[in-house]
């Protein structure tokens, strides 16, 4: 049992050092599995945030001028340190997020894909060169880092998202200020130690813990040139609008209401297994989790519901310390309350509860923030549980009569993060991938998250701005391109003044 004496007071990481908070304000970090506070995280003042940004700016010029191969070497060392310290990282992630060990391991592995891409940065920052474009002028383009950039990360992926947001930013020569989620700050602080051991210069990686005060300073501070955000759609919209108002380059990724369309020809046993993992993994706290399954045709729906009911009822909800746990708690008591309320509203609006996660003993008896796997059938557009993202294990069945109806419903929804179709019909798959207005699309792939060397981002209300969270677009997002025209004159050649616009005939 955790006692008050065991509650740890955390720090920031500024200028290459663990730095005590000065505000006197702290947030509580819970272990969601036991429902108890395990740490206090300092909430930075505007002045502390400003100081951290200033130190990052001071460190930037030397890092900008460091050779790209040397930067890649440090990132490779950092990658090796993550793998060497995998077990300790797993324990930290599981303690502060409630994830199962398997889920945490998968998160680290996916995060390393972004690091791997960043190691290849020499290839990604190459420019273009043209000889003698006119008048003995050579023209070339070159990518330069922006300066100080910021990342604001969510609680649901304590390491994968921060690595995806920052690895390339550092690789191309920027200094990064990370505002980690105050719910899961311990992972980012541990990662700070690994960057230090890898040889990253002080000030190039900064962690500022805080709340809205720190965020608003990041948004408004003129030194910060770009911001990468991942979180809920309302906050993403606020980050984008405020950041761009202050002249920053912003990519803000929001929520998702992701659908799995099931055609009558699909293998329903395979579909059920795919849906359960994609829908309930990590207690459904993923922006790419499947929220809604759309079986095409009543017969398909009836057969699928029968299979799902049996499989969902067999899922094990519990602590990451217990073997064979399928998923653990949600992040907070407030999240648990919101999810239970959403289930009740769905039922009151006419949805049929097929599997009721509210009835599990662990939900009623444990101090942890547990919600069991819940499935609601006969959900209709217009119901709140259909329209709004529920960040927890309450999933929907929306019955449709045709593929066209499914596509129309999905395209009409305000969110467009991820979607998938299960079918053996190539024509149906091609029609779906062509007509669907969603950023990441799967065909017989339950969670269509791109690998780290492809771009990740949704459409519509799931993304504000034109950047991506990972993939080669990150190298473009975190750099500015200069186009340079140069001519070297010999000393014995004189030229007359030219008043016309230069052309390739000169």
> Active-site residue numbers?
287
Instruction: Give the integer Cα–Cα distance in Å for 464 and 252.
Output: 5
* Helical axes 86-97 vs 101-119, angle rounded to 10°: 120
Instruction: Give the count of beta carbons closer than 10 Å to the beta carbon of residue 6.
Output: 11
Q: For residue 436, what are its two tokens?
A: 């669907």
Instruction: Give the integer Cα–Cα distance in Å for 456 and 374.
Output: 28
Extended beta strands in 341-432, E state:
352-355, 374-377, 394-397, 415-416, 418-422
Residue 405 in 3-state DSSP?
helix
Instruction: Give the integer Cα–Cα distance in Å for 163 and 77.
Output: 14
Q: Sheet harboring 129-134: ordered strands across?
A: 129-134, 137-145, 479-486
Q: For residue 195, what are its two tokens?
A: 């960057």
Q: Do 422 and 429 contact (CB within 8 A), yes or no?
A: no
How many distinct helices (H) and strands (E) make up the chain? Answer: 17, 23
* Adjacent-strand bridge partners of 140: 129, 484
Structure-derived torsion over alpha carbons of residues 184, 190, 192, 193, reported in degrees to the nearest 10: 170
- In the DSSP assignment, the letter for residue 444 is S
DSSP letters for 125-144: T---EEEEEETTEEEEEEEE
Closest CA to 468 of 482, 486, 447, 451: 451
Instruction: Give the integer Cα–Cα distance in Å for 486 and 488.
Output: 7
DSSP letters for 238-267: HHHHHHHHTT-EEEEE----EEEEE-TTS-
Instruction: Give the integer Cα–Cα distance in Å for 192 and 206.
Output: 8
Instruction: Give the integer Cα–Cα distance in Å for 454 and 443.
Output: 17
Q: Do 327 and 457 contact (CB within 8 A), yes or no?
A: no
CB neighbours of 97 closer than 8 A, spacing ≥ 6?
Answer: 32, 104, 155, 156, 158, 184, 331
Q: What are phi and psi of 401, to 5 degrees?
A: -95, -15
Q: What are phi and psi of 204, to 5 degrees?
A: -80, -25
């Amino acid at each position: 049992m955790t006692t008050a004496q065991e509650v740890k007071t955390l720090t920031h990481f500024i200028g290459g050092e663990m730095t005590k908070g000065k505000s006197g304000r702290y947030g509580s970090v819970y272990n969601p599995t036991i429902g108890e506070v395990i740490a206090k995280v300092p909430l930075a003042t505007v002045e502390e945030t400003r100081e951290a940004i200033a130190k990052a700016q001071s460190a930037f010029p030397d890092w900008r001028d460091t050779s790209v191969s040397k930067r890649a070497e440090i990132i490779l060392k950092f990658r090796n340190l993550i793998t060497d310290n995998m077990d300790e990282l797993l324990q930290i992630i599981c303690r502060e997020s409630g994830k199962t060990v398997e889920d945490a391991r998968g998160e680290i592995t996916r995060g390393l894909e972004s690091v791997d891409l960043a190691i290849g940065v020499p290839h990604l920052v190459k420019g273009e060169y043209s000889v003698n474009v006119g008048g003995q002028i050579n023209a070339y383009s070159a990518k330069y880092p922006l300066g100080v950039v910021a990342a604001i990360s969510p609680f649901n992926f304590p390491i994968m998202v921060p690595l995806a947001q920052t690895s390339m930013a550092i690789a191309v020569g920027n200094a990064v200020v990370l505002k980690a989620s105050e719910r899961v700050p311990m992972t980012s602080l541990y990662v700070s130690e690994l960057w230090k051991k890898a040889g990253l210069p002080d000030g190039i990686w900064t962690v500022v813990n805080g709340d809205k005060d720190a965020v608003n300073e990041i948004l408004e501070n003129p030194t910060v040139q770009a911001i990468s955000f991942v979180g809920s759609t309302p906050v993403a919209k606020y980050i984008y609008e405020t950041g761009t108002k202050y002249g920053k380059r912003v990519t803000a990724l929001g929520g998702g209401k992701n659908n799995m369309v099931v055609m009558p020809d699909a293998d329903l046993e395979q579909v059920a297994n795919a849906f359960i993992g994609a829908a309930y993994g990590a207690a459904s706290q993923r922006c790419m989790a499947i929220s809604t399954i759309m079986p095409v045709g009543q017969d398909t729906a009836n057969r699928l519901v029968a299979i799902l009911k049996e499989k969902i009822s067999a899922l094990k909800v519990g602590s990451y310390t217990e073997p064979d746990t399928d998923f653990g708690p949600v992040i907070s008591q407030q999240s648990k309350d919101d999810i239970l309320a959403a289930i009740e509203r769905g039922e009151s609006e006419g949805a049929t509860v097929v599997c009721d996660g509210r009835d599990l003993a662990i939900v009623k008896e444990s101090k942890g923030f547990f919600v069991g796997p819940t499935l609601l059938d006969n959900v209709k557009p217009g119901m709140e549980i259909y329209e709004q993202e529920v960040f927890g294990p309450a999933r929907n069945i929306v019955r449709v009569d045709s593929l066209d109806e499914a596509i129309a419903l999905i395209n009409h929804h305000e969110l467009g993060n991820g979607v998938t179709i299960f079918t053996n019909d190539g024509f149906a798959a091609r029609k779906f991938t062509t007509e669907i207005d969603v950023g990441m699309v799967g065909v017989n792939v339950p969670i269509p998250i791109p690998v780290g060397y492809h771009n990740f981002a949704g459409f519509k209300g799931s993304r504000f701005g034109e950047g991506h969270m990972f993939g080669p677009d990150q190298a473009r997002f975190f750099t500015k391109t200069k186009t340079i025209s140069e001519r070297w004159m010999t000393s014995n050649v004189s030229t007359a003044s030219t008043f016309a616009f230069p052309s390739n005939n000169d």
